[in-house]
Amino acid sequence: MFKISHVAFAAAALSAAASPAFAHAIAGDRVFPVTLTLDDPGVADEVTLPQVVFQPGAGPSTQTQFQWEFDKRITPSTALIYNQGFDILTATGSKRATGFENPVITGKWQVYMNAEHEFIASLGIQRELPGDLDTKAIGGDAQGATIPTAYFGKGLGDLPIGVLRPLAVTGELSYVIPDRPVNTANDNGGTPRSLKGGLSVQYSLPYLQSQVKDYGLPGFINQLVPLAEMSYVTPMGAPSGNAPMQLAFGAGAIWLGPQYQVGAELLIPGNKAAGSNIGFIVQVHFFLDDILPNSLGKPIFQ
Amino acid sequence: MRVRFGLIVMLAMAIPQAVWAHAMLMKAEPAVGSSVISAPAQLILHYSEGVEPRFTTVVVHDAVGARMDSDNLQTAVGDPKTLVIGLKALKPGDYSVDWHVTSVDTHKTQGHFSFTVAP
């Protein structure tokens, strides 16, 4: 029989590739859309509702996640972000497991923006709150973690070759400090410290149409941003074989509208620890600073 | 906490209010990156949202940096999403357009592009 605890472990591995959704940012001529599996580099007033992740795991297990996020700017360059989700974990021969994911609260500070070179950098502290037994059953943590994170985004609009100017890269790097680090005997129920990272490569057709050359493409096409994403988690100091490195890729596109965006990607495991089947992620994200510019969409302190 | 978050989101979506956004350039005449046979007398910029011309700048330069617009930016009659600016007599060559726009909800956006006059 395929035990649900094994499924939970697989789910935890797969979840690393599909962390909560995040916000968009603007630097000069560049609009960085909301990437699906990693955070983007800026701060904004926004809501993700919902993000749905479907991941067939290794063996007869399947994980479905319904996630949401609320981003609230405190000042024009700082924000508090709340992420959570509800997961359904199924496996042949086992009882279905359901539960809420660990809530994550992030404090984020956009420390630098260079409009001319389309560059943004931010720093953040994520605080993953402890979960309950249901959270643990779906692959979450009974303990919490603190996660210092650095973010960047760079548009390539300053390249001399026109067709390459719509390209942009964004990334993040995090160090996960669990409340209860695993001990050398691996018998204290802890989790290892880990290094998490993500990278996206984007090609903005809105940028192509409005900054480089208007090819007269249909309006829907002109608002697409095809992109590829990569995310990984590398445990550090874990007992041998306890927690292997996980690598995953995403490939898809984002439709970037004036008040909201819709994104969809295939989720492709990059190594055995990240699973063996292709999943997908779909996200609907609303820009509150555009929808409600005079209330929820503006910083609390200007 | 979860209930409170849901209420905030529902309230936010339910508040009846005009929908505004960052003004994005949707179309330009002459077109972005285009080559035109005859020199245009004006530059027309179509945005996704209404713009505030008093807090908006559009500047056209030739290849040596000389300013070639007539500094008479205005919105099109009855169309706050469209900006019109006159151009001086353009000779064959490359021209750059730099725009900084403030939308009616005060969001700022910017961009630049070029076009060519090649009879």
For residue A18, is pLDDT > 50? no
Least confident of A49-53, B15-19, B106-110: B15-19
Structural domain B21-117, CATH architecture:
Sandwich (2.60)
As a whole number, mean pLDDT of residues A277-292 equals 94
Summarize the confidence of residues A276-287 as an average pLDDT: 95
A91 within some domain: yes
pLDDT beyond 90 at B12:
no
pLDDT value at A265 more than 70: yes
Query: Rounded distance, CA B105 to CA A26, Å?
Result: 16
Higher pLDDT, B104 or A21: B104
**B14–A contact, CB cutoff 8 A:** no
Alpha helices by DSSP H, A104-200: 133-137
Q: Are A50 and A18 in contact (CB under 8 A)?
A: no
Structure-token match 């962390």, residue found: A19
ipTM score of the complex?
A: 0.84
**CATH, residue A23:** 2.40.160.40
Å from A209 to nearest chain B CA?
A: 7
Q: What are the sequence ranges of the domains in chain B?
A: 21-117
Chain A residue numbers touching B25 (CB-CB < 8 A): 210
**Residue A300 maps to a domain:** no
CB contact under 8 A, B32 and A214: yes
Is the per-residue pLDDT at A9 higher than 80? no
Look at residue A238 in the predicted model and tell me its pLDDT.
Answer: 67
What are A125-151's pLDDT values in tens digits? 999 999 888 888 888 888 899 999 999
Q: How many domains does chain A have?
A: 1
By Cβ distance, the residue of B9, B20, B25 closest to A70 is: B9
Q: What percent of chain A has pLDDT over 70?
A: 89
Distance from C-alpha of B74 to C-alpha of A112, rounded to nearest angstrom: 34
CA distances from A138 to A25, A64, A142, A163, A247 (A): 32, 10, 11, 44, 20
Q: What is the pTM of this model?
A: 0.87
Residue A302 counted as domain residue: no
Alpha helices in A189-302, H assignment, sequence order: 205-207, 219-222, 288-291
Give the tens place of pLDDT for each residue, A189-200: 788 899 999 999
Whether residue A125 lies inside any domain: the answer is yes
Q: Is residue A251 part of a domain?
A: yes
Task: Check CB contact of B49 with chain A, cutoff 8 Å.
Answer: yes
d(CA A232, CA A210): 34
Closest CA to A299 of A110, A26, A73: A73
Does the beta-carbon distance from B9 to A289 stay under 8 Å? Answer: no
Question: Would you say residue A98 has pLDDT above 90?
Answer: yes
pLDDT at B1: 43
Residue in chain A nearest B16 by alpha carbon:
A292
Range of the domain at A31: 4-291
Q: Look at strands B108-117 and B93-102 and give their pairing.
A: antiparallel
| Torsion sign (Cα): A260, A266, A269, A275 | positive
Residue-wise pLDDT for B30-77, tens only, equals 999 999 999 999 999 999 999 999 999 999 999 999 999 999 999 999
Query: Residue A22 has what pLDDT?
Result: 37
Would residue A163 count as lying in a domain? yes
- Using CB atoms, which residue from A70, A210, A214 is nearest to B5? A70
* Per-residue model confidence (pLDDT) at position B4: 53
> Which amino acid is residue A101, in one-letter code?
E
Give the separation between CA A285 and CA B54, rounded to whole angstroms: 32
Are A139 and A15 in contact by the 8 Å Cβ rule? The answer is yes
